[in-house]
């Protein structure tokens, strides 16, 4: 018995080790600000001199940081980095003391369109946007992390392009904003002129929080990149200035679509952060009358909607167009055939020489069988057409 128990314990230990090995470690993307040229050391390992070329991806959890600059060197207290997020670390040397301020920041995902832009131009725009976002205490994710998050994330692209965002866009806590930058040809027709459109998608509200645009010269990559940075600051500042509240929508029956300002954002029961202001709410489910209501979302408050949906009255029974056309053709054809059949029946037994004496004429019309067949066929066609038009097709109420 003891051997079986020992074997079971060993098996569970092996399985737990395999699961732990398969679970990816939690990491944090860290933006570090500090004295230029200072060597940054984390947990005894040098990360490089400030400013770092790229934001390091470090394991989440407790860490100690140290700066060495000339004769100055100091170490921080233990700081705990958040799990699956972004953080900004501001380091200041004050004598032998290192002042460290850790701040959880908003993660920014960047989409540059069209995808055919030269790679050098895309890199320039990315670098400028990264610097601009950093000034607004946001972190532009690295290319590898962006690619991993966007892989298979068609919902994010659909949300930006069509405005319908019924699904959770990205894992909670990883991304706060998705910035879409689109370079379009200028409207004045000048060669090389362009317009740069910026749209910022707020993932917590699933709403386009700010838009901006500016003129540019596609032949001047530096100016285009600078314009991208300016628009990034503009939409981020506009978004951060907007007060937020919440909305909660329930319905009877549950599972109804929730549309906010005409955009599909989910199904009931529905609860989400929302920008303050007037919101047009529609709750819809097939077979019921839609509930429409305008609510006021107030800062730091949650507006509620409780929709008791009533069944919609049955729609008038309808007939599809193909049945109307086919039925009409059958009735018309049937009448036409019946006309020929009737004429054949009336001609049956008459002399072909048009004499009135049927006893003496040798040739006469024998069209009874043909006439009867035509009348029968025509009548059947007409009846089929009448039936096709008379029987309606029921449709579900929407």
Per-residue pLDDT reduced to its tens digit, 123-179? 999 999 999 998 888 888 877 777 776 665 566 667 767 667 776 655 555 678 989
Domains 27-105 and 244-308 share a fold: yes
CA 141-158-245 angle, 5° bins: 70
pLDDT band at 373, cuts 50/70/90? confident
Kindly tell me if the per-residue pLDDT of 376 is higher than 90: no
Residue 211 CB burial class (10 angstroms; 0-12, 13-18, ≥19): middle
Instruction: Give which of 32, 33, 29, 141 is closest to 85, Cα–Cα.
Output: 29
Residue 214 has pLDDT above 80, yes or no: yes
Tell me which fold the domain 244-308 belongs to: Immunoglobulin-like (2.60.40)
Quick one: which of 8, 93, 97 has its CA closest to 50? Answer: 93
Mean pLDDT for 105-112 is: 86
Q: Which residue has the higher pLDDT, 54 or 231?
A: 231
Q: Residue 181's pLDDT band (boundaries 50, 70, 90)?
A: very high
Better-predicted residue by pLDDT, 20 or 82 = 82
Report the distance separating Cα 246 and Cα 240, nearest Å.
Answer: 16
Check pLDDT > 60 for residue 316.
no
Work out the number of other CB atoms within 10 angstroms of the CB of residue 262.
Answer: 9
CATH code of the region 27-105? 2.60.40
- Torsion sign (Cα): 126, 128, 131, 132: negative
Q: What is the pLDDT of residues 325-371, one digit of tens each?
A: 887 888 888 888 888 778 877 777 677 666 556 566 655 666 777 77
Domain ranges of the chain: 27-105, 106-240, 244-308, 321-390
Which pLDDT score, from 0 to 100, does residue 364 have?
62
Work out the burial of residue 356: count CB atoms within 10 Å of its CB; fewer than 13 is exposed, 13-18 middle, 19 or more buried: exposed
CATH code of the domain made up of 106-240: 3.40.50.10070
Question: Do the Cβ atoms of 98 and 50 come closer than 8 Å?
Answer: no
Contacts of 241 (CB under 8 A, 6+ apart): none
Is the pLDDT at 47 greater than 80? The verdict is yes
């Amino acid at each position: 018995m003891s051997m079986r128990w020992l074997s079971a314990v060993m098996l569970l230990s092996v399985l737990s080790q395999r699961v732990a090995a398969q679970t990816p470690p939690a990491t944090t993307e860290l933006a570090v600000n500090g004295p230029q040229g200072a060597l940054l050391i984390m947990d005894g390992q040098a990360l490089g001199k400030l400013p770092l070329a790229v934001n390091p991806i470090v394991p989440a959890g407790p860490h100690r940081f140290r700066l060495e600059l000339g004769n100055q060197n100091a170490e921080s207290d233990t700081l705990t980095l958040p799990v699956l997020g972004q953080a900004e670390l501001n380091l200041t040397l004050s004598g032998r003391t290192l002042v460290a301020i850790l701040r959880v920041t908003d993660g920014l995902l960047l989409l540059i369109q069209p995808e055919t832009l030269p790679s050098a131009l895309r890199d320039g725009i990315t670098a400028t946007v990264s610097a601009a976002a950093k000034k607004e205490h946001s972190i532009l994710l690295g290319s590898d992390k962006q690619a991993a998050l966007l892989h298979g994330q068609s919902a994010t692209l659909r949300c930006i392009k069509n405005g319908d965002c019924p699904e959770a866009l990205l894992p909670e806590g990883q991304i706060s904003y998705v910035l879409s930058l689109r370079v379009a040809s200028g409207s004045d027709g000048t060669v090389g002129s362009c317009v740069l459109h910026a749209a910022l998608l707020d993932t917590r509200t699933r709403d386009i929080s700010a838009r901006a645009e500016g003129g540019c010269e596609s032949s001047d990559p530096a100016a285009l990149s600078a314009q991208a940075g300016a628009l990034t600051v503009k939409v981020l500042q506009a978004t951060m200035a907007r007060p937020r509240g919440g909305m909660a929508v329930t319905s009877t029956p549950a599972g109804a679509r929730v549309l906010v300002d005409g955009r599909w954002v989910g199904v009931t029961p529905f609860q989400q952060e929302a920008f303050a202001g007037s919101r047009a709410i529609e709750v819809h489910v097939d077979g019921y009358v839609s509930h429409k209501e305008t609510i006021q979302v107030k800062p730091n408050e949650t507006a509620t909607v409780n929709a008791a949906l009533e069944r919609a009255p049955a729609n008038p029974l309808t007939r599809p167009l193909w049945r109307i056309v086919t039925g009409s053709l059958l009735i018309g054809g049937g009448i036409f055939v019946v006309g020929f059949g009737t004429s054949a029946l009336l001609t049956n037994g008459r002399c072909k020489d048009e004499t009135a004496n049927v006893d003496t004429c040798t040739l006469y019309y024998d069209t009874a069988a043909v006439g009867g067949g035509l009348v029968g066929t025509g009548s059947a066609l007409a009846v089929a057409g009448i039936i096709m038009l008379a029987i309606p097709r029921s449709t579900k109420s929407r």
